[in-house]
Amino acid sequence: MRRVAITSLLSGMKVGHNIYNSRGETLISRGVILNKRYIDSLKKLGIPALYIIDDSLPDFFVQDVIDERSRVAAIKLTRSILNGQNTSESPLDKAVVSDSKKVVNDIIDQLLDNPSLMVNLVDIRSIDDYLFGHSVNVCVLSLVTGVSLGYDKTKLMNLGMGALMHDMGKTLVPPHILNKPGSLTESEFNVVKRHSEYGYTILASNEAYVRKLYALIALQHHERYNGEGYPKGLQGGSIHVFSQIVGIADVYDAMTADRVYRKAYPPNEVFEMLAGSGDFLFDYKLVLAFLSNIAAYPAGSIIKLSSNEIAVVVETPKGYPLYPRVKVLYDSTGNKLQEPLDIDLSLQNNLTVIKVLDHSEIEELKLNEGKLIS
Ligand SMILES: [Fe+2]
């Protein structure tokens, strides 16, 4: 499989994984051959990239950190919670909070069972339904960070619940502002910024069932270590550690997604941005714990090595986010290898990734049988 940006999809490509909407319905199944109609609807849904089965590449399986069933169930639940807030004044009730805890508990159990997995896979989300998939992603990303920090199950549950509900206040921001295609005016941005206080109010007003800590996370997830966040401009250690973890996960997930007002940033660029944000935006040790779980070059990326060889990323070992296991496809002079060559970059002293190839470069490579113009 290889990872293809949504803008580079072509008719005839074969889909490598199932794609769902936020209702849990299958939009496209693994193995389907794309046509113009599918591609147009995927673009409308705002999915940033897909895994494509490319018969000219070695096939391999990309395992998500949680299983598909749990992710779809979590997205469906989040959808029902957030839609409930949007359409009525009814508070979160005990049953909804209890269902959410079951979902978070399931995610925690899976993460603890699979401690070596890295965050790789393109997730299931769309622009219209962005908030639901985003909430689940932020929950999963926060929890993998909590696991790396050695948190026990009680701490993980509080962190996961706060993460799942961190953007609940967005349901009170008018949709025409939230989904505006283009930059916001200053006054519109000020309305959006209020979502952290709205979220706090919704969650804190249900304190019979909802822990105050979840509300605090919703309130503080846009605070930044250097004091330049909102709503209060808190600094350093005065921002709760859980709020900072959720803030890091929120930034990563938002930047790797297509939004109505801009395209997704490549995962390796977001990785580098976050790596440089330590002690400015977030506590550096939390950033390191987060990044230790993130594959800078997701499986299926086609990359150029410092040796000028071209390879496909297969897997990234835990703790070595910049040094994946790869299969070399073309040698340094551009000749296609008869058999792909396995290299584990985490075991090589002098070999690094210097470039991620985009779709046109990959096609050019095939046309010229490896003679890539750098
Ligand atoms: Fe937010």
pLDDT one-digit tens code per residue, 163-195: 999 999 998 999 899 888 888 999 999 999 999
Q: Give CA–CA dist 104/156, Å, rounded.
A: 9
Question: Residue 131 Cα, ligand 1 centroid: separation in angstroms?
Answer: 10
Name which of 124, 260, 105, 112 is nearest 181 in CA terms.
260
Check if the beta carbon of residue 129 is closer than 8 Å to that of residue 21. Answer: yes
Task: End-to-end CA distance of the chain: give it in Å, rounded.
Answer: 23
The pLDDT of residue 159 is 98
Question: Residue 202 Cα, ligand 1 centroid: separation in angstroms?
Answer: 14
Question: Residue 98 Cα, ligand 1 centroid: separation in angstroms?
Answer: 23
Does the pLDDT at position 338 exceed 80?
Answer: yes
Q: Which helix (H) or strand (E) holds 70?
A: helix 68-87
- Higher-confidence residue of 210 and 282: namely 282
Q: 321 vs 75, 117, 192, 290, 361, CA distance in Å?
A: 27, 11, 33, 11, 24
Among 10-19, 26-35, 116-125, 325-334, whose mean pLDDT is lowest? 116-125
Name which of 307, 44, 92, 64 is nearest 203 in CA terms.
92
The residues, any chain, with a CB within 8 Å of residue 104's CB and separated by 6 or more, are 139, 143, 157, 160, 161, 164
Q: Give CA–CA dist 323/138, Å, rounded.
A: 24
Question: Residue 260 Cα, ligand 1 centroid: separation in angstroms?
Answer: 16
Q: 283 vs 278, 280, 287, 304, 318, CA distance in Å?
A: 6, 8, 7, 32, 21
**Which residue reads 């849990």 in tokens?**
24
Q: Give CA–CA dist 301/12, Å, rounded.
A: 20
Name residue 15's beta-bridge partners: 52
Among 15-29, 164-178, 193-207, 275-289, whose mean pLDDT is lowest? 15-29
Q: If you ran DSSP here, which 8-state letter would residue 87 be given?
A: H
Question: Residue 222 Cα, ligand 1 centroid: separation in angstroms?
Answer: 6
The pLDDT of residue 113 is 93
Question: Residue 190 Cα, ligand 1 centroid: separation in angstroms?
Answer: 13
| 374: confidence class by pLDDT, cuts 50, 70, 90 | very low
Question: Residue 296 Cα, ligand 1 centroid: separation in angstroms?
Answer: 23
Superfamily of domain 68-291: Hypothetical protein af1432 (1.10.3210.10)
Question: Residue 303 Cα, ligand 1 centroid: separation in angstroms?
Answer: 33
Name which of 264, 220, 226 is nearest 240 in CA terms.
220
For the domain 2-53, what is the CATH code? 3.90.105.10
pTM: 0.90
Question: Residue 203 Cα, ligand 1 centroid: separation in angstroms?
Answer: 14
Check if the beta carbon of residue 296 is closer than 8 Å to that of residue 268. Answer: yes
| 46: confidence class by pLDDT, cuts 50, 70, 90 | low
Question: Residue 178 Cα, ligand 1 centroid: separation in angstroms?
Answer: 11
Name which of 293, 291, 298 is nearest 267 in CA terms.
298
**Which residue reads 């939230």 in tokens?**
178
Name residue 5's beta-bridge partners: 49
Among 51-60, 163-172, 210-219, whose mean pLDDT is lowest? 51-60
Average pLDDT score over residue span 90-103: 82
Q: How many CB atoms lie within 10 A of CB 113?
A: 9
Does the pLDDT at position 78 exceed 80?
Answer: yes
Per domain, the residue ranges of the chain are: 2-53, 68-291, 302-367
